Structures are given as structure tokens and as C-alpha cells.
Amino acid sequence: MRNKILFFLLGVLTVLAIVWLKRQLYLIGTSDPDFNTVYSTKYTDQLFNEYLLGKTEKELDELLGEPLSAYKVPFINALLYTDKKQSIYLNKDFNCIQFQVQKQDRQFRCFYLDSIGKVKKVKLKGYNESEERYNGLSKDDILKKFGLPDDEICNSSYEVLSYSELTKGTQSGKQGTINVREIILNNNKIATQIIKKVGQTRVCKNCDCN
């Protein structure tokens, strides 16, 4: 009888050890956004919908609590010309200009324009020409010389309010995937877009926006 009890307890401990081990492996290899996400004080998933569109920043604070973070996205306009569109393009997912180069031998010209449509910066690869020769040219000058761009990003300035963020404690998975909850405000501080998705926080790495 005593041996049966010992075997039973040993079996229970073995099962618990296996469950614990599987959980640890899950946390290491799989990202669980619900586990990883913390929210603003008044946030509810039911409230975070298109009902918030048109609300002022003050009204949003009353409904959701203060955002956990906020950042401003400057005006961005860039024109990309490349020899192979499939090999290089502008990554617009992080509200910035990020080059995605599939093959290192590709050529491209990228023109960055200011808010009045003048070239303020040029990035060249594979062309034996000076970047300064294009500074100050208008967007029309560039279009007349090179035609329509292979890719373009053009965003007006706006502000992003984040109502979720990655927990500072134990995290699930290596990628830090969370339930992204953001609201975009226009220059009049009015909510114009609701972002509700699973993904990563918008960190602009290797960015050429400025």
C-alpha cells in the first residue's frame, strides 16, 4: 500500500514537472501577446473601437486613462527610384523610412522632400554622382527628370497615443509580440485612426526619416 502511494506521488510530481517544462519551453519559443501586454488604467477591449474616432485628446483620457506613451511622427515624403522594384522598397510599417534591400548589388536613388516639396536630402547607391546636385530641387523637377517613382511614402505629421506596451516583467517569446493599441491624432488633437492588432511596438530602427 505504501509503495502504491509513493508511486502515485511520484507520478503526480512527474506530470507536474512535464507541465512546468512545457510551459517554460512555450514561454521561450512562442510569443503570447496577452501575457506580454499591459494597458492604460481605464482600458477595456470592448471600448477600444471606432466609437473613439472624432474624440478629442481630453475625451480619450477620460475614457481610457492617460496613454502609456506618446510620440510625434514628422512629415515624411520620399521618392524611391531603383533598378529592380522587387529587390528594394520602403518599409512603411513603423511610420518611418526603412530600406528593405533583398540584394546588395541593387542601385537606387531616394529623394527626401521637406513640407514645401523641396529636396532636403538624397540617398544614393550605385551611382557615380554627387548627392548635393539635387538639394533644393522641387518635387516637379525630380518627376520631370526621372518620371514617376517606383515607390513613395508621404505622411503628414501626426501624433500617436499608445494605450498598451510590453510588460517589464517576465515575457513570452523572443519577439516581444503584444496587443498593439494605438490612436492617431491629427494636428487638431482629434482621433482619426484606431490601431488594434497583434504585433510589435513601433520602434524605428535604422531609420532615415530625419
Cα separation of 40 and 94, whole Å? 22
Cα separation of 174 and 118, whole Å? 42
Residue type for position 10: L
Strand partners, 73: 158
Match 505622411 to its residue by C-alpha cell. Answer: 155
User: What is the enclosing helix (H) or strand (E) of 2?
Assistant: helix 2-29
pTM of the model: 0.61
In eight-state DSSP terms, residue 135 is T
Residue type for position 169: G
Encode the chain (210 residues) as per-residue pLDDT tens digits.
Answer: 666 666 666 766 776 766 665 565 555 456 788 888 999 999 999 999 999 999 999 999 999 999 999 988 778 888 988 876 655 656 555 445 556 555 566 788 889 998 899 999 998 888 889 889 999 999 999 999 999 998 888 877 889 999 999 988 777 666 678 999 999 998 899 999 999 988 876 544 444 544
Strand partners, 179: 198
